[in-house]
């Protein structure tokens, strides 16, 4: 079996994939004869889209998907997925959905099915696993109408497009485009590369019991220039430490600083630099008051 010309079996295949999970398939009047006539429909793959329409309602973009816009005549997809458990069969023929671009040597709207999913296109609108499963099953219905069903021939619009299209919304696409293809492949059989696992964050070492050295200490005495006064003992302490794994950590402890009284003008800086390191990473700024005279610098 293969599709060449209007895909009049599309509604039947959709029901085979969607009825088992309780999704209703609605045939939009005239779907069998709906399609663009500039080319013969000869699909070998499928493209996934979001409508980028209103956030309100279950199917605010259905009319546009059927009839098109002023600059782009309809149909704009073969199948439209609502926000509830309903899928609409829109067109059996060529739909204006893919635009300029390609995927695995396919090009032109006549070479791919198109699914439009009701979604605003922003990551703050959830896309639950239920809706994701419905979408994967629609693409399974597309591809199983071909003589050689292959999930590798399914793509997201952002993979196809040379015009900067961003659908389907990456922020809510579980596992990205590869993860979506992988789920389609699990439905129809065959193999596609498994999605790459999420990177494992580097372990964070436990806090050290004390600073072993390699510390840069800058002590800035704070003066009130306008009043010609100095508040003895107030200081701003910036500590820096370079760890073996290259990440700084704040290690301010009693015993690091020996407090002294002095009067200096604003913005004069006294620094004590450990000679064991030439590179340091800034971490934190702390203000301390005099109290206990700590031990000498280590």
Which one-letter DSSP state was computed for residue 245?
Answer: T
Task: Look at residue 276 in the predicted model and tell me its pLDDT.
Answer: 35
Task: Look at residue 190 in the predicted model and tell me its pLDDT.
Answer: 73
Task: Look at residue 268 in the predicted model and tell me its pLDDT.
Answer: 37
- The token duo for 240 is 């820096």
pLDDT tens digit sequence for 112-150:
999 999 999 999 999 999 999 999 999 999 999 999 999
Half-sphere exposure of 237 (CA within 13 A, CB side): 21
Task: Look at residue 250 in the predicted model and tell me its pLDDT.
Answer: 35
The rounded distance, in Å, linking the Cα atoms of 118 and 64 is 12
SS3 at position 115: strand
Domain limits, CATH 3.40.80.10, in the chain:
10-188
Q: What are phi and psi of 270, to 5 degrees?
A: -110, 130
CATH superfamily of the 10-188 domain: Peptidoglycan recognition protein-like (3.40.80.10)
pLDDT (tens, 9 = 90+) of the chain, 298 residues, equals 589 999 999 999 999 999 999 999 999 999 999 999 999 999 999 999 999 999 999 999 999 999 999 999 999 999 999 999 999 999 999 999 999 999 999 999 999 999 999 999 999 999 999 999 999 999 999 999 999 999 999 999 999 999 999 999 999 999 999 999 999 999 999 766 666 665 555 555 544 444 444 343 333 333 333 333 344 443 433 333 333 333 333 333 333 333 333 333 333 333 333 333 333 333 333 333 344 333 333 3
Q: Are 179 and 190 in contact (CB under 8 A)?
A: no
Q: How many CB atoms lie under 10 A from the CB of residue 291?
A: 9
Q: Are 10 and 121 in contact (CB under 8 A)?
A: no
Task: Look at residue 119 in the predicted model and tell me its pLDDT.
Answer: 98
Cβ-count burial 201-222 (b if 16+ within 10 Å, e if not) = eeeeeeeeeebeebbbbbbbbe
């Amino acid at each position: 079996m293969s599709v060449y010309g209007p895909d009049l079996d599309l509604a039947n295949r959709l029901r085979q994939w969607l009825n088992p999970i309780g999704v209703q398939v609605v045939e939009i009047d005239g779907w069998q004869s709906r399609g663009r006539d500039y080319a013969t429909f000869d699909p070998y793959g499928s493209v996934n889209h979001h409508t980028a329409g209103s956030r309100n309602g279950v199917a605010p973009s259905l009319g546009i998907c059927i009839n098109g816009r002023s600059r782009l005549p309809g149909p704009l997809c073969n199948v439209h997925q609502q926000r509830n458990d309903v899928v609409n069969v829109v067109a059996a023929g060529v739909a204006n959905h893919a635009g300029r671009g390609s995927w695995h040597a396919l090009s032109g709207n006549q070479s791919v099915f198109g699914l439009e999913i009701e979604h605003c296109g922003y990551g703050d609108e959830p896309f639950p696993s239920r809706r994701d499963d419905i979408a994967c099953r629609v693409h399974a219905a597309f591809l199983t109408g071909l003589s050689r069903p292959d999930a590798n021939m399914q793509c997201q619009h952002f993979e196809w497009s040379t015009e900067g299209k961003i659908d389907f919304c990456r922020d809510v696409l579980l596992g990205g485009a590869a993860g979506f293809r992988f789920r389609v492949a699990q439905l129809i059989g065959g193999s596609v590369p498994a999605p790459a696992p999420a990177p494992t964050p580097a372990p964070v070492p436990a806090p050290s019991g004390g600073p072993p050295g390699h510390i840069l200490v800058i002590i800035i005495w704070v003066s009130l220039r306008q009043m010609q006064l100095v508040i003895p003992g107030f200081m701003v302490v910036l500590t820096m430490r370079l760890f073996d794994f290259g990440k700084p950590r704040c290690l301010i402890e009693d015993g690091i600083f020996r407090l002294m009284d002095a009067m200096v003008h604003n913005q004069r800086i006294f620094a004590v630099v450990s000679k064991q390191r030439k590179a340091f990473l800034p971490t934190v700024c702390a203000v301390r008051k005099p109290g206990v005279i700590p031990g000498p610098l280590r």
